Amino acid sequence: MGVTFEDEVVVVTGAGGGIGRATALAFAERGARIVAADVDTAAVDRTAALAGALGPRAHAFTVDVGCEETMAEFAGEVEELFGVPGVVVNNAGIGMAGSLLDTGPAAWDRIVEVNLGGVARGCRLFGRQMVERGAGGHIVNIASAAAFTPNRAMAAYATTKAAVLMLSQCLRAELAGHRIGVSAVCPGFVDTGISRSTEYVGLDAAGQDRARQAAARLYRLRGYPPEKVAERILHAVEHNSAVLPVTGEAKVNHALSRLSPGALRLMARIDPTARWSERGRADR
């Protein structure tokens, strides 16, 4: 079964479904006390109930990782109620696709605040607690294969994930002397709810629906479940992995990013949304 996390406090953000829920349940099966956080109250309550049936205890919190004040309150409450977590998984994030030229300031600010700011807040607030406790720990940041795979239709999303990857590597160096590991886990195409909630900038409501349905079909056909990503997250913590690509396409693209970045740049010119984007383009 591998390393256990008996009575270890494990915080997972974005735990209302997908990779976050699967990760919370995987740690619960290993004996961890789960602190599940998500902006969706009903979804995170369900995760806590499932995790509580598998492990010693689980607690749900409604948290918007994009809000500094809310995250600070959350981190303080976790420390007060349960103690300093031994593992923190910064998983919460949102999807966004479409041309950078169509990505307005509000959309850009939103994805940066959640995907990058949320991870940075989790690292800073809980990382400080771990340092002060002086007993080590581990932080896992969920990036993406998009962090090293340029794509003409994912500029905003890929930029935030590339930033999460670099943040993780910088923080890993900073916290190494405190015996706190930092891992960046980079999934590829995983069948989760993000494919059905991604915002497609520049498209009207009908175009958004078509794009989401098409993406969800592709993710289902790929058939890579979030439970397999959760297994790799556990592996990253157990082995203190620095960067861990998950899924075959993530591993191939990670290798190409080092061995043949020019090939990835050429592939980035392919527009995966070409079939439906013009039909669903919003009036400007």
Separation CA 48–CA 16 (nearest Å): 9
pLDDT digits 0-9 by tens, 141-160: 999 999 999 999 999 999 99
Residue 164 to residues 25, 49, 112, 147, 154: CA-CA distances in angstroms? 24, 30, 10, 8, 15
pLDDT digits 0-9 by tens, 82-91: 999 999 999 9
For the whole model, what pTM was predicted?
Answer: 0.91
Determine, yes or no, domain membership for 281.
Answer: no
pLDDT of residue 207: 86
pLDDT of residue 276: 47
Determine, yes or no, domain membership for 32.
Answer: yes
Question: Low-confidence residues of the chain, pLDDT below 70?
Answer: 1-2, 272-284
pLDDT of residue 193: 77
Determine, yes or no, domain membership for 83.
Answer: yes
Determine, yes or no, domain membership for 258.
Answer: yes
pLDDT of residue 284: 39
Determine, yes or no, domain membership for 209.
Answer: no
Determine, yes or no, domain membership for 105.
Answer: yes
Determine, yes or no, domain membership for 282.
Answer: no
Clarify whether 224 is annotated catalytic: no
Separation CA 91–CA 213 (nearest Å): 23
Determine, yes or no, domain membership for 131.
Answer: yes
Helical segments of the chain, H only: 18-29, 41-54, 68-82, 105-111, 118-133, 155-175, 194-197, 205-222, 226-239, 248-259, 261-267, 274-277
Residue 198 has, within 13 A of its CA and on its CB side, a CA count of: 26
Instruction: Tokens for 8, please give them.
Output: 């270890």
pLDDT of residue 217: 83
Q: Give yes or no for a contact between 81 and 2, defined as CB atoms under 8 angstroms apart.
A: no
Catalytic residue among 157, 200, 219, 224: 157
Its domain, for residue 243, covers 9-200+224-271
| Number of domains within the chain | 1
Indicate which CATH number applies to the domain containing 239: 3.40.50.720
